[in-house]
Amino acid sequence: MKRLILIIMCIVTALAVYAAPPKLNVESLFDGRYNDNKSVTISIYKSNGNYYRGLTVKNNPGIIKKIAEAISKDAPKAKEYSDYNGADGQYTSLQIVNNGEVIYIGLQRDKRGGAFFFIQGKEKAFR
């Protein structure tokens, strides 16, 4: 009987860990620290079960560096990762699966010192 209770507790614990939010480093970028920063435009949308957050950064390499660092910390969790350096800029993208749904993360850095960053997916993926 004790063994059965132990097995059930292990299964419940494993399911709770599996269903936990992904705790992505990039999500911390939307904690309000850039709300009053004139070089950053923040977009957040929820619609039809989809969730989207974006940052547009102009002439602020420090913030762009923080975004890139957060993405690199999340990269090991990605099922797909790509980084492309082109003549017009650098593009980084990740796909992270949580709760059976894909979270898309992208950063586009241009040569003029600007960047566009986004995180998007079904709301279920963020639970």
- Residue range 6-65, pLDDT digits in tens: 455 545 454 444 444 568 999 999 999 999 999 999 999 999 999 999 999 999 999 999
Tokens at residue 56, please?
Answer: 């547009």
Q: Which comes out higher in pLDDT, residue 55 or 2?
A: 55
Domain harbouring 119, CATH code: 3.30.160
In a domain, 33, yes or no: yes
CA angle at 101 for the pair 121 and 108, rounded to the nearest 5°: 40
In a domain, 104, yes or no: yes
pTM over 0.85: no
In a domain, 121, yes or no: yes
Which residues form the domain of 104?
Answer: 22-126
Q: Report which secondary-structure segment, H or E, holds 66.
A: helix 61-74
Give me the pLDDT at residue 35, please.
93
Give me the pLDDT at residue 60, please.
94
Split at pLDDT 50, 70, 90, the class of 3 is low
In a domain, 26, yes or no: yes
What does pLDDT average to over the chain? 85
pLDDT, tens only, 72-92: 999 999 999 999 998 888 999
In a domain, 11, yes or no: no
Q: Per residue in 84-93, is it b (16+ CB within 10 Å) or e — as a string? A: eeeeebebbb
d(CA 58, CA 27): 20
Q: Are strands 50-57 and 115-122 parallel, antiparallel or unpaired?
A: antiparallel
Size of the chain, expressed as the number of residues it contains: 127
Question: Cβ(115)–Cβ(64) under 8 Å?
Answer: yes
Q: In total, how many domains does the chain have?
A: 1
In a domain, 82, yes or no: yes
pLDDT > 70: percent of the chain? 83
Give me the pLDDT at residue 88, please.
84
Going from the C-alpha of 73 to that of each of 11, 17, 86, 90, the distances in angstroms are: 29, 20, 23, 18
